[in-house]
Amino acid sequence: MKIPLLNAEKLSVVFGGLSALNGLDFQIPVGEIVGLIGPNGAGKTTAFNAITGIAKVTRGRVLFEGRDITGWPTSKVARTGIARTFQNIRLYEDLTVIENVMVASHTSVRYSPVEAILGIGRVYADERRIRHRAESLLETMGLIDTAGDKAGSLPYGSQRKLEVARALALEPALLLLDEPVAGMNPRETIEFGALLRKIRKDLNLTIGLIEHDMGFVMDICTRIRVIDHGIPIAWGTPKEIQNDPKVIAAYLGEG
């Protein structure tokens, strides 16, 4: 079998005695869209936080392209090719839409502060390159007409798409999305699904996805990992997951 792009092995996270994640195995094969689902408080966001260096891994390890990245700082994880969005939208509300994307790109600028002072020409060239790239990402995400608007003034669904554009500015190989369609209406959700498939193909991405909208998850994911109370309870295709009694029981238990 091919090495999965991401391979989290027996991942555990403990918060002051509480076991938020307990022995999670989670693999994302190259080119797939893999879902991570489970009831509220199951540990889904904690799993993404552990993978991206935000939460401290208590046990287990995270392999990316076969390399052990467990415990790497978030900036280094981003540079190695993993970008993410957040359940609670994180944008610079008072900056414009395009500035939000450009700021995200700046982590990939190739000059030092001293070079920035000495080599103004190159700085301008980089600015132009970054602006051009940001415009093209906004075009892709269907946000180009709002490029000059304040990010905070966008409707909720557009803010979610802007978060994705910001993540893509890092030119990741793996994109992790935490509840990307939360707050979107059914039409926006369907459009977002089509968009996600398109960028997956056009940008050669692999995607990990946390989402409560089951229609969306079952439609878009190639495989799904289910967790409950921090423990992995199922892994399979959407069809297998839908018919798994353990999964049904976990969701019924939620009420």
Ligand X SMILES: Nc1ncnc2c1ncn2[C@@H]1O[C@H](COP(=O)(O)OP(=O)(O)OP(=O)(O)O)[C@@H](O)[C@H]1O
Span near ligand X by CB under 6 A; candidates 39-47, 65-73, 124-132, 198-206: 39-47
Q: For residues 111 and 37, give the distance between their C-alpha atoms in angstroms, rounded to a whole number.
A: 41
Smallest separation, CB 101 to Mg ion (Å): 24
Min dist. Cβ of residue 230 to ligand X (A)? 7
| Number of residues counted as binding Mg ion (CB under 5 A) | 3
Write down the least CB distance from residue 45 to Mg ion, Å: 3
How far apart, in whole angstroms, are the C-alpha atoms of residue 90 and residue 166?
Answer: 10
Buried-state track 5-33, b at ≥16 Cβ within 10 A, e below 16 = bbbbbebbbbeeeeebbbebebbbbeebb
| Stretch in the footprint of ligand X (CB under 6 A) among 15-23, 26-34, 104-112, 198-206 | 15-23
- State how far the Cα of 221 lies from the Cα of 208, in Å rounded to an integer: 9
Tell me which residue has tokens 């060239």: 125
Choose which of 43, 157, 193, 232 interacts with ligand X (CB under 6 A): 43
Q: Residue 34 Cβ, how far from ligand X at the closest point, in Å?
A: 16
Q: Which CB, 87 or 108, lies closer to Mg ion?
A: 87
Cα–Cα dist 92/75, whole Å = 18
Phi and psi at 96, nearest 5°, equal: -75, 170
Q: Is residue 46 a contact point for Mg ion (CB under 5 A)?
A: no
Which range of residues in 36-44, 104-112, 157-165, 217-225 is near ligand X by CB under 6 A? 36-44
44 near ligand X (CB under 6 A) = yes
Interface residue with ligand X among 58, 70, 87, 242 (CB under 6 A) is 87
Q: Which of 45, 140, 158, 159 binds Mg ion (CB under 5 A)?
A: 45
Alpha carbon of 167 to those of 78, 178, 189: distances in Å? 9, 12, 19
Nearest partner of 167 among 215, 201, 128, 203, judged by Cα: 203
Point out which span in 41-49, 100-108, 113-121, 198-206 binds ligand X (CB under 6 A).
Answer: 41-49
Dihedral sign from CA coordinates of 15, 35, 174, 136: negative
35 binds ligand X (CB under 6 A): no
Residue 63: its H or E element: strand 59-64
State the residue number with the nearest CB to Mg ion.
45
Q: Which residues of this chain interact with ligand X, rule CB under 6 A?
A: 15, 18, 20, 38, 40-46, 87
Q: Which residues of this chain interact with Mg ion, rule CB under 5 A?
A: 44-45, 87
